[in-house]
Copies of this chain bind each other. A is one copy, B any other.
Amino acid sequence: MTVTIKDVAKKAGVSPSTVSRVLSNHPRISLETSRKVKAIMEDMGYTPNMMAKSLVSKTTNSICFSLPKPAEELFSNLFFMELIRGIVTQASRSGYDVLISSGANEKEELEAVSRLLKGRRVDGVILLYSRTDDAVIDFLESNDYPFVLVGRSDRYENILSVDNDNVMAAYDATNHLISMGHERIGFVSGPPNLIVSRDRLAGYRKALLNSGLEMRDEWIVEGEFLQDSGYRAMSFFMNLPNRPTALVAVDDMVSFGILRGLNELKYKVPDDLAIVSFNNIPLSELSSPPISSIDIGIYHLGYTASQVLIQNIKSPNHDVGYTNRFVIPHRLIVRESSMYSHAKNKTE
């Protein structure tokens, strides 16, 4: 049925080893033989059997992206997809295939990853970091499997990771508002156990401190990465006696909630309240007004994660410590939600 290396060999009148060597451009193959064999391979439509290859080389040329619990949220979907696109694109350029695995919970995720790695189906794993303690990381680390974390962990020191500088990002976002003349700036945070929430909060604080602006606890509220959190935060802030004139929100979805609330109460953005948030999801420019947002380069995050992982697979010796953490640059996209109202029609 399928044409194997032996069929080619027979037809070419050489041994299988010769064909194999032609395939891998072995130096000690005469040009003549090489050409002849190649022609015959082409002719017979030979494609190498990856399984057989993998069996002997103990390498699969594929990596696994472990999709966390199916978060039903809009943002997750957009985020994951961008990430996957980055990963797949890079991997494909490096000649690797990408396997998507997912588990309903940590236990399942561990089982899946373990099966894939121990069963030699993939060479390494890209993990999306969400938890603070992680059985999967423990497993990977203790078995010395190549992996890279998208995100940051404070518990694990010497592992490969790709992340944004969220402190700096929040610092930039806040400074932008400050530069627009705002002096009372609030912050809508995410779940406090997420490192990303903590980092962004820290950056916000740093910016205020740096500019000598007032910092009040009541100007910081915690929530989820969801619309509703924004909605609630908004109504809390707007009822404050000395309310903020601008808000930094930890995620664009939160901004949508804020926007909806302000809209209902007939407040104007950015005149009554300016807004900047994070992640720059495609919707950010579609809302009215469009929301200023920090683009964290999700695609790039995935692309780099794949690159780092594959390079680590190829030469595992490279973990020199100081290159373990790769930081993807962010950039602020200024839109109407944080512009001076009289500048509305001028920019963009």
Contact = CB atoms under 8 A, between A and B. Distances in A.
A286 B48 contact: no
Oligomeric state, in copies: 2
Contacts of A115: 47
A4 to B, nearest CB: 11
A92 to B, nearest CB: 7
A120 interface: yes
- Please classify the interface of chain A as helix (H, G, I), strand (E, B), loop, or mixed, using the class held by over half of its residues: helix
Interface stretch (A78-86, A126-134, A171-179): A78-86
Interface residues of A, number: 48
Nearest to A62: B99
B77 A82 contact: yes
A151 to B, nearest CB: 19
B120 A256 contact: no
A51 interface: yes
A36 interface: no
A235 interface: no
Interface of A: 2, 45, 47-52, 54-55, 60, 62, 67, 70, 74, 77-78, 80-82, 84-85, 88-89, 92, 97-103, 112, 114-116, 118-121, 227, 256, 260, 263, 282-283, 286, 288
